[in-house]
Amino acid sequence: MRRGWLTIRRDARHDRPNRERPIMRAKNDNSSPLMRQFLLLAGVVLTLGMTGTGLWVSAQIERIVVTNSGAITALYVDAMIAPVAQKLAQVDDLTPEDQTRLDQIVRQGGLSRAVSTFNLWDRHGRILYSTRPERIGQIRQDNPRLNTALSGRVYASLRNVTQTDGTREQLAEVYSPIHSSRTGQIIAVAEFYTDSADLREDLWQSRLASWIVVALVTLAMFAALCTIVLRGDRTIRQQRARLADQVQVLSHSLAANAALTQQIEQANRRIAEINDLTLQRLSAELHDGPAQHLAFAAMRLDGVAGQEPVALAVNEALRELRYICRGLVLPELGDLDGETIIHRATATHLARTDAPVDVQIAGPLPPLGLHEKNCLYRFVQETLNNGAHHAPGARQSLRAAAAKGGLQVDTLDDGPGFDLNAATDGLGLRGLRERVLGLGGRFTLHSTAKGGTSVSMWLPQMQKGAE
């Protein structure tokens, strides 16, 4: 016994997880797949966003700058042209004198240095005056830029214009409405083109500044997002490393617990085997010792006058002792199945007590190991004997069936029952419970004053490859 205990302690010590051994840490790279994916996707999204924002801002800057510049120029042109065009509020054509005055203003005055081409439109889309005389009288009612000016707004844009010498030049095109000084109604539209070199330079500077601002804002957003994601990625990797450490420690603990559980089960099986061997030795000692002396005493008292009661008592004691000896010794159960073991145990009980047992076995029973077979025999023997002893005359029954990967056995009687909470000095059911639990089974006991007593046991079936 002590040697087996020392073996268990030594194995448990060897299987104990070494907490001081170095634990493999999770790989701590500077960049993880998550971080690389974020850098790629965030770079693409922010680049597209920066490009779209930059283009939109540049377009808005160009529209605003060109419109404002065109509006300022339109005010200058309107101040010079409007006095000549006021007659158009009453008449539809310009007189030769009016056209001469316009020539002087556009071709010879200060306006000639700012305007390269000039057209004057009436409200019906007809050119009344042009620095290109061949265009006078042309009608263009489908001109959207003219329609914008006729609605009361100044239209201005940069446009490539073909000059008289055939060259193309980017000029600022402006359509400016001319209002009547008395009614405020639009009486004509001035179309003119101005040099856009200074305007394009201003636009270039504004676009460059806007792109720089958009790029800086994008870089700042990218840096902020990278910082947040980098911290989150670092936290995730640290937590993953700690979790890996904990999982490894838990794995060692589970392995050690599994080893200890297996050793405990082996120890319990060994204890059950030792108990059976002890009972066999005790049976042999009782048979070779006290039983022989009682047999000798019975022979000497046989036929002696006046000693009949003593002889009867000695013979009864000898018979009880022989029953005890036979009950202590297990029969050979290694080649028997569970159903045969149950029938043999009930048959032995019937021969000893003359009390029949109603046996009900549902279907084939699962295979059992040798220790489980011994436990099954002891369970049937002890529970039936216990019922016959404490509830003589009660009807006894036994049910057995395969259940939940093992064998379920129930013994029942309709006797008076007993109080489960009352203290008893009996060792039968207590030892039987320890034997069943030591084999990884379950043991339950129910008893009521009017419902009789039931004892249930569940044993795991023999695993494949187990002896």
In the chain (467 residues long), the average pLDDT of successive 10-residue segments reads 38 43 44 77 87 86 79 79 83 84 78 78 88 85 86 86 73 88 88 80 85 90 87 87 93 91 77 72 68 69 71 72 64 84 90 89 89 88 87 91 92 84 66 86 86 90 61
For the chain, the domain total comes to 2
Q: What is the pLDDT of residues 216-262, one digit of tens each?
A: 998 998 888 888 888 888 888 889 899 999 999 999 999 999 888 88
Phi/psi of residue 444, nearest 5 degrees: -135, 150
Domain co-membership, 45 together with 191? yes
Q: Is residue 360 part of a domain?
A: yes
Q: What is the pLDDT of residue 31?
A: 57
Q: What is the pLDDT of residue 243?
A: 94
- The residue among 169, 204, 239 that closes a domain is 204
In contact, 408 and 401? CB cutoff 8 Å: yes
Q: What is the pLDDT of residue 204?
A: 86
Residue 236's nearest CA partner among 244, 247, 246 is 244
How far, in Å, CA of 11 to CA of 21, rounded? 19
What is residue 329's DSSP assignment?
A: S
Q: What is the pLDDT of residue 251?
A: 93
Q: What is the pLDDT of residue 18?
A: 44
Residue matched to tokens 């707004």: 153
- The residue among 204, 234, 262 that closes a domain is 204
Q: What is the pLDDT of residue 3?
A: 39
Q: What is the pLDDT of residue 11?
A: 44
| Residue 121, domain extent | 41-204
Q: What is the pLDDT of residue 142?
A: 82
Q: Is residue 9 part of a domain?
A: no
Domain co-membership, 191 together with 334? no
Q: Is residue 412 part of a domain?
A: yes
Q: What is the pLDDT of residue 63?
A: 81
Q: What is the pLDDT of residue 407?
A: 93
How far, in Å, CA of 437 to CA of 198, rounded? 100
In contact, 394 and 385? CB cutoff 8 Å: no
Q: Is residue 182 part of a domain?
A: yes
Q: Is residue 306 part of a domain?
A: no
Domain co-membership, 47 together with 190? yes
Domain co-membership, 53 together with 200? yes
- The residue among 204, 235, 261 that closes a domain is 204
Q: Is residue 284 part of a domain?
A: no
Domain co-membership, 191 together with 336? no
Helix (H) or strand (E) holding 283: helix 197-288
How far, in Å, CA of 342 to CA of 397, rounded? 12
What is the token pair recorded at 216? 């800086």
Q: Is residue 14 part of a domain?
A: no
Burial zone of 119 (CB within 10 Å; 0-12 exposed, 13-18 middle, 19+ buried):
buried
Which CATH number goes with the domain that contains 355? Answer: 3.30.565.10
Which CATH number goes with the domain that contains 140? Answer: 3.30.450.20
